[in-house]
Amino acid sequence: MIALIIIGLIWLVPIGLQIPWALYYKLDEFSMYINGNQPAKVLACYLEFTDVRFERGFFLGVVFLTYYLVPLVVITVFYTLIGMKVWKRNVAGIRGSKAERNIQRSKVKIVRMLVTVAIVFALLWLPLFSLRMCVYFGKPFTTPQREVVSHIVMPIAQWLGSANSCVNPFIYCFFSEQFRKGIIEILKCASSCCSGRPLGRTNQRHQSVTTTNTVL
């Protein structure tokens, strides 16, 4: 029951936060000359708030907090707790041995990986939210500045923020040997499935163990 409630909240909270976007986004039609030819009709979807103060409050109180600041704080706090837990963990009976040195190196890699994930999240989303801050609370842009921001800077900032989702697996691969092995086994399995060759019993067992270790 608790799991169902949590899953329901995970779905309901984002849906609720998106309601203002659905209410205030407008679809407009206008003409645009393309390559000097006849004007073409273009549909544009844009955000149009009736109250500037509400628009600024919505961005600062909902968008900035829930999409950037709160996730960044949560990631930082929980990754710090995980790093402290991993760093303090000791295995009895291996003090001064090669195994202890290997474990220590693994701890360093894990901590570095967690720090890297948090920093990358902050850096990739920072340009977009900084730009939004300038738009809502800074001086109005001139016409040339507005053209550059809307056609060049804003798309790049949006791309950087979206790229955060695909960067994390590469970070995990870079720091975790087990993760790399797990990815390789998954690719081997996918290749075997596509070619119609069944995996042997040994390979299946090895894949299962490797994938489990990767998750853990």
Which residues contact residue 192 at a Cβ distance below 8 angstroms, ignoring those fewer than 6 apart? 198, 199
Cα torsion angle, 44, 49, 52, 56, sign: negative
Confidence of residue 214 (pLDDT cuts 50, 70, 90): very low
Nearest Cα neighbor of 132 from 73, 75, 58 is: 58
d(CA 158, CA 151): 11
181 vs 190, residue with greater confidence: 181
d(CA 42, CA 137): 30
| Span 160-170, pLDDT tens digits | 998 988 898 89
CB atoms within 10 A of CB 60: 15
211 vs 166, residue with greater confidence: 166
d(CA 12, CA 58): 18
Maximum mean pLDDT: which of 7-21, 61-75, 119-133, 164-178: 119-133
213 vs 142, residue with greater confidence: 142
Maximum mean pLDDT: which of 18-32, 44-58, 68-82: 68-82
- Report pLDDT for 66: 84
Q: Which residues lie across from 25 on neighbouring strands?
A: 47
d(CA 153, CA 189): 41
CB atoms within 10 A of CB 81: 11
CA distances from 151 to 6, 40, 118, 156, 163 (A): 40, 19, 29, 9, 19
| Span 3-20, pLDDT tens digits | 899 889 888 887 887 787
**pLDDT, mean over the chain:** 79
User: 36 near 54, Cβ under 8 Å?
Assistant: no
- Report pLDDT for 27: 78
User: Helix or strand or coil: residue 176?
Assistant: coil
73 vs 193, residue with greater confidence: 73
Does the pTM of the predicted model rise above 0.75?
no
Mean pLDDT of 53-81: 86
- Report pLDDT for 213: 44
Confidence of residue 73 (pLDDT cuts 50, 70, 90): very high
